[in-house]
Structure 1
């Protein structure tokens, strides 16, 4: 037996066991050629860090920023003070909730009827100021009630910024509030 012989030792090689031929089990012809190395690396880079069109990149950036803002707002809105104020405002009738429709009606009334009936402008102006005073009284009552409730439920939480938050929430129409009201008017919580 020669080391560099062209003839192989056929006796030393074991015979392959006869296996039944199963479809798809043997060597198959390739349907596509092997990609070049630079093409394979470029495809891998594209999968890991896709190159986006400017329009697609802006859309993804907007989606990410929106999701992050929603997550931050949820964390802020779930603070104990804000949650209590939100429930307090949602369970009571707020005069400020009617402010936008009433003030817009008064403005339209004054602008449309002023040229025709100039004597009605002065009473309409006084009515508008009177309604704003009533809103101020209602907000004062809302804040005093909330301070008592906060002293019972969350005594160690600071109340800074909650008056403004409550006023803004009571100013908006109930079905347009964000986050949506969980409690109905008159519910106890």
Structure 2
């Protein structure tokens, strides 16, 4: 009986592959991607829409180079100056300069703005006195010199009286609080004409602050 020769591939086939092949065929097929339960937690809280929008906006507006950063700083300064200018006009405490902020400074401004101050009329009186002194008439020049002395004395007396009253009112209104510099701040304001004062006056003359 003639025996057929075996193929070479069958003779040199690895037994290890033969043993692993059935095991691989019998292994259960696992699904790599499983559908997540929509009710299951995601491991992190879902951000609110406003928070997500603000994050996207901050990322979008983040300057990428020095030129953009400088441009953004100039824009921020311009916006801050506009807000400060509006605050000086309407008295908005949020955007006032540091020297004008606080209830103590506001009270000092209102106290000065609520009364007539001789010092605020100094500029117009100075113009009148200067004109009189330039006229080549001996009598008028003597009158101008006398007016200078009277105006200076009146301003000093009025300022001393105003400072004393303001200090007393501050002690009554803000007991135990620091009011240092408020009197000087108010007196410097009294030297300015009412329409030129900044922040703009928020009280009328004669109105008690």
Distance 1:122 1:143, change over 3 A: same
Identify the residue that residue 152 of structure 2 maps to in structure 1: 132
**Larger deviation, residues 58-67 vs 130-139:** 58-67
TM-score, normalised to structure 2, is 0.56
CA contact (8 A) 1:143 1:163 kept: yes
Query: Quick one: distance in 1 between partners of 2:127 and 2:121?
Result: 10
Query: Quick one: distance in 1 between partners of 2:79 and 2:164?
Result: 40
5+ unaligned residues in a row in structure 2: which ranges?
Answer: 1-58, 86-93
Q: How far does residue 57 in structure 1 lie from its aligned partner after superposition?
A: 8.0
Equivalent position to 1:155, from 175, 186, 191: 175
Distance 1:58 1:125, change over 3 A: farther
CA contact (8 A) 2:112 2:189 kept: yes
Secondary structure of 2:179's counterpart equals coil
Identify the residue that residue 141 of structure 1 maps to in structure 2: 161
Q: How far does residue 134 in structure 1 lie from its aligned partner after superposition?
A: 0.4
Secondary structure of 1:63's counterpart equals helix
Equivalent position to 1:106, from 117, 129, 132: 129
Query: Quick one: distance in 2 between partners of 1:147 and 1:63?
Result: 37
When Rg is computed on C-alpha atoms for both structures, the one with the higher figure is 2
Secondary structure of 1:159's counterpart equals coil
Aligned length: 141
Q: How far does residue 185 in structure 1 lie from its aligned partner after superposition?
A: 0.6
Identify the residue that residue 91 of structure 1 maps to in structure 2: 114
Q: How far does residue 75 in structure 1 lie from its aligned partner after superposition?
A: 4.2
Query: Quick one: distance in 1 between partners of 2:131 and 2:177?
Result: 44
Identify the residue that residue 164 of structure 1 maps to in structure 2: 184
Query: Quick one: distance in 1 between partners of 2:131 and 2:165?
Result: 35
Q: What does 1:1-189 align with in structure 2 at a 5 Å threshold? A: 48-49=63-64, 51=67, 60=75, 63=78, 66=81, 73-111=96-134, 113=135, 116-189=136-209
CA contact (8 A) 1:80 1:154 kept: no
5+ unaligned residues in a row in structure 1: which ranges?
Answer: 1-43
Greater relative contact order (Cα 8 A, min sep 6): structure 1 or 2? 1
Q: What value does the CA root-mean-square deviation take over the aligned residues?
A: 3.1
Distance 1:88 1:45, change over 3 A: closer
Q: How far does residue 142 in structure 1 lie from its aligned partner after superposition?
A: 0.8
Query: Quick one: distance in 1 between partners of 2:80 and 2:147?
Result: 45
Q: How far does residue 94 in structure 1 lie from its aligned partner after superposition?
A: 0.9
